[in-house]
Amino acid sequence: MEKIFTQDYCVRHNETDYSGKLSLPALGDCLLDVAGHHAIDIKFGIDSLQHQGLTWVISGMKFNIYRMPAINSLFKIKTYVSGFSRIATQRDFMAYDDNGKIAEASSEWLVLNMEKRRPVFISDLFPQLGDVCITDSPLPKYKHLRTFDAPVSAQEIRRVAYSDIDINRHLYSMRYLQMALDTFDIEYIANHTISSVDVNFISEVLYGQTVDVVRHSDGDVHGMEMLRDGSAVFRAEFRMG
Amino acid sequence: MEKIFTQDYCVRHNETDYSGKLSLPALGDCLLDVAGHHAIDIKFGIDSLQHQGLTWVISGMKFNIYRMPAINSLFKIKTYVSGFSRIATQRDFMAYDDNGKIAEASSEWLVLNMEKRRPVFISDLFPQLGDVCITDSPLPKYKHLRTFDAPVSAQEIRRVAYSDIDINRHLYSMRYLQMALDTFDIEYIANHTISSVDVNFISEVLYGQTVDVVRHSDGDVHGMEMLRDGSAVFRAEFRMG
């Protein structure tokens, strides 16, 4: 049982975008992968929760990106639990290689009752959470995002299909980010890099539902909102450089 | 330099579908990953080709699937070049774990001139190909698929967005399969497994283009066709059990 858990990665072809660099959703896939392995290591894995009709869900993330590694590059991600309350835990990540930091991210997690689709008290489930938590210097938490004032710069309707949903039978968290990025014109992305992102996962989206992905832009700051029947289910703010 | 190249994998959360088992496109991602590493090992890597304005493209695949591993399972993939002609090479794969075979797949590859988008003679580029090829017992090659006679069972228009394209600036091969699978109702997939698939990649699809994904079904045999301006750019036949 390790308080700080580290895993090795190698950037795959399918994890890069057309620039040949690791994409943001693929970086997120790796973060969620190492989080899952660490949770199993400290006995808070999703397997044991599912036997009790419970599951981990992510409620928000904040990314700071310094540079994205190229295809076939080796890198590492270290992660640890950096804070907790009665209903939420914070988990921080650092991705790095021999040349230094690649990205940092913080994430907030809830435990959901899968039948009621409502959060439960984590402190009751895992009273020993304090023993594995490293509270020294947690990374800044994501910003709570409200309706964006900037004008609408792109809008697209998306249907949630088979390949979009995960074992929790809802839209996979990184697919929200992918759908947001898909509103960009490729020439814009080719000439910009993502420097930081705040992400709010507001509500589950289920198989077969349609969402309206709306981008609001103020220069290189982009507010992304995903609406279902007019209500926001996701918001993110991308700052591009 | 290894004639048979083997690599270890661990099924990640994002590589499974809602059943918690490795998805077909994610298995394909792993096959392409190990192929890329082996190609570098035998000095036929995409890196060296790109310096000459060339790239590898896949023209067809055949999958035989025995069972898909669950999330966090360890498995291995071995691969080797199993045949070649003047313009194409065949590469075979076997995915397996301690319990035996998971899947077998054959694949056919061309080298494309990236400017002209036309194949070149591989035998001129790599005269030493015979030295690394294991021609003993190549796996059966994919079937060439023609227009499907079975009635249309589903149809959907898809736009090729930022997240769909790869370093070759065209629709990533496994995205064709993903778009095909997305025509299925989730309840059908929940109650069936894919036993084998023949895949024909007929034409590149570029960023911003829209395609019409059409499924033709005869019981549990599904012919998938992707059309652009009425012409087929992709066909696949899925046999489900």
Q: Give the model confidence (pLDDT) of A152-201 as tens digits.
A: 999 999 999 999 999 988 999 999 999 999 999 999 998 999 999 999 99
CB contact under 8 A, A163 and B37: no
Say if residue A46's pLDDT is above 90. Answer: no
pTM beyond 0.90 = yes
> So what's the pLDDT on residue A45?
85
Q: How far apart are the CA of A150 and the nearest CA of chain B, in angstroms?
A: 23
Local confidence band at B127 (pLDDT 50, 70, 90 cut-offs): confident
Give the tokens for residue A186: 């490729």
Of the listed ranges A145-154, A187-196, B40-49, B111-120, the one predicted with least confidence: B40-49
Distance (Å, whole) CA B92 – CA B110: 15
What mean pLDDT comes out for the span B41-46?
87
Separation CA B121–CA B128 (nearest Å): 13
Tens of pLDDT, residue by residue over B77-91, are 999 999 999 999 999
User: Which residues in chain A are contacts of B181 at CB distance < 8 A?
Assistant: 162-163
| Chain B residues with beta carbon closer than 8 angstroms to that of A25 | 163
What CA–CA distance (Å, rounded) separates A202 from A11? Answer: 30
Q: What pLDDT is stored for residue A109 in this prediction?
A: 96
DSSP secondary structure, B29-47, as one string: HHHHHHHHHHHHHTT--HH
Place of tokens 């009425």: B230
Q: Which residue among A17, A163, A207 sits closest to B162, beta carbon to beta carbon?
A: A17
By percentage, how much of chain B surpasses pLDDT 70?
Answer: 100
Residue B135: what pLDDT?
Answer: 87
Q: What is the pLDDT of residues A7-25, one digit of tens each?
A: 999 999 999 999 999 999 9
Nearest-CA residue of chain B relative to A45?
Answer: B72
Tell me the domains of chain B and their CATH numbers: 5-132 (3.10.129.10), 152-240 (3.10.129.10)
Instruction: Please check whether residue B155 touches A, CB under 8 A.
Output: no
Is residue B23 a contact partner of residue B16, using CB atoms and an 8 Å limit? yes
Put simply, whether B121 touches A (Cβ < 8 Å) is: no
Distance CA B38, CA B189 (A): 33
Task: List residues bridging with A57 in a β-sheet.
Answer: A110
For residue B70, give Cα distances in angstroms to A231, B10, B64, B224. 35, 9, 18, 26
pLDDT of residue A168: 86
- Average pLDDT on A83-91 reads 95
B172 touches chain A (CB under 8 A): yes
CB contact under 8 A, A32 and B17: no
pLDDT band at B29 (very low <50, low <70, confident <90, very high): very high
Q: ipTM of the assembly?
A: 0.94
